[in-house]
Amino acid sequence: MKIYKNLNTAFIEELKRIHSDGSLVRSRGSSQKEILFTQIEITDPTQLDIQVPERKFNSRYATIEWLWYLSADPSVTNIGKFAKIWRDIQDDNGEVESNYGNYIFEDQWEWVIGELSSDKDSRRATIAINQPYHKDKNIKDYPCTQYLHFFIRDNQLHMGSYMRSNDVIFGFCNDIFTFCLFQQLMFNELSKTYPELSLGKYSHSAGSLHVYSHHFDMMDSILDIKHEEREYSNAKIFKLRPEVTREYIVDSASFLPSESMTKEKMYEFLDRKTKELFL
């Protein structure tokens, strides 16, 4: 397992590994360079900013995507205005299978809270995302995430995810951003039961960690930089306020609305909710 303090370092170092050790494969009509069965750990799940300029990471988009997950609404009406991929993989009803909140917030979220509240050492606190029915539902959108897994150990809340497939350039960055916020959200839930609980580590596993061929030039340009000589000291911290729980989110409507909005209105909504949700 590779251990990193933050997402920025994990992104750079995993790109290096794929570049040097990855194998060329061809899947679903495109070429990739991949490493199989990767596992990494991020020791601070609040340091989620990617500061490599060449990546052009948009933390505002990543936050809006998380607010869309919080809505548990599979429609791409709004999120599709920010990222073409959602429009490309929608079904005939304008919906996708990969709004993770649609699975997390059915019954599984409350079940995990109850399980860990009654048994602090439980190994059962999992949330399944990829479902058997996905194999035959939307051929364009087969969810990449298999499950999330929570543990309380040494009075810390740790969380891990397992992904069948993860693209380093886009998916890896946005997925870890999202999952670490879910970890913080669960931490806030359980802190009501365990006031001395602290936020633990985030573990990320991927069956295939890869870079698509159309991103090879970006990978090369990023790896041409001597990152140890760059200043990455102004990273934005993404830390939820302690009162932010699922109930708080529902009561304050802190999720991306379902009705159609312009991008400008969504950014106004984001700026308002960012002040309410984050320290």
Per-residue model confidence as pLDDT tens digits over 139-182: 999 999 999 999 999 999 999 999 999 999 999 999 999 999 99
Taking 90 as the threshold, does the pLDDT of residue 9 lie above it? yes
Q: Which of the four pLDDT bands, split at 50, 70 and 90, describes residue 227?
A: confident
Taking only the tens place, the pLDDT of each residue in 245-279 is 999 999 999 999 999 999 999 999 999 999 999 99
Closest CA to 34 of 6, 9, 11, 15: 15
Looking at residue 226, what is its pLDDT? 82
At 232, is the pLDDT very low, low, confident or very high (cuts 50, 70, 90)?
confident
Average pLDDT over the chain, rounded to an integer? 96
**Residue range 200-218: average pLDDT?**
97
Question: CA 219, 221, 224, 229 torsion: positive or negative?
Answer: negative
pTM of the predicted protein model: 0.96
Q: HEC string of the chain?
A: CEEECCHHHHHHHHHHHHHHHCEEEEECCEEEEEEEEEEEEECCCCCCCCCCHHHCCCHHHHHHHHHHHHHCCCECCCHHHCCHHHHHCCCCCCECCCCCHHHHHHHHHHHHHHHHHHCCCCCCCEEECCCHHHHHCCCCCCCCEEEEEEEEECCEEEEEEEEEEEEHHHHHHHHHHHHHHHHHHHHHHHHCCCCCCEEEEEEEEEEEEEEEHHHHHHHHHHHCCCHHHCCCCCCCCCCECCCCCHHHHHHCCCCCCCCCCCHHHHHHHHHHHHHHHEC
- Cα–Cα dist 145/166, whole Å: 9
Cα 55 off chain centre by: 17
Residues across the chain: 279
| Band of residue 233 on the pLDDT scale cut at 50, 70, 90 | confident
Q: Is the pLDDT assigned to residue 228 strictly greater than 80? A: no
- Summarize pLDDT for 183-200 with one digit per residue, the tens: 999 999 999 999 999 999
- Average pLDDT value for residue range 55-82: 97
pLDDT in tens, 234-247: 789 999 999 999 99
Banded pLDDT at 206 (limits 50, 70, 90): very high
| Structural domains counted in the chain | 1
* 104-151 confidence digits (pLDDT tens): 997 999 999 999 999 999 999 999 999 999 999 999 999 999 999 999
Region 2-30 average pLDDT:
95
Question: Given this model, what pLDDT does residue 225 score?
Answer: 84
CATH number, position 265: 3.30.572.10
102 is in which domain, residue-wise? 2-277
pLDDT at 63: 98
Q: What angle do CA 128, 134, 139 make, to 5 degrees?
A: 140
CA atoms within 13 A on the CB side of 266: 24
Asked if pLDDT for residue 223 goes beyond 80, the answer is: yes
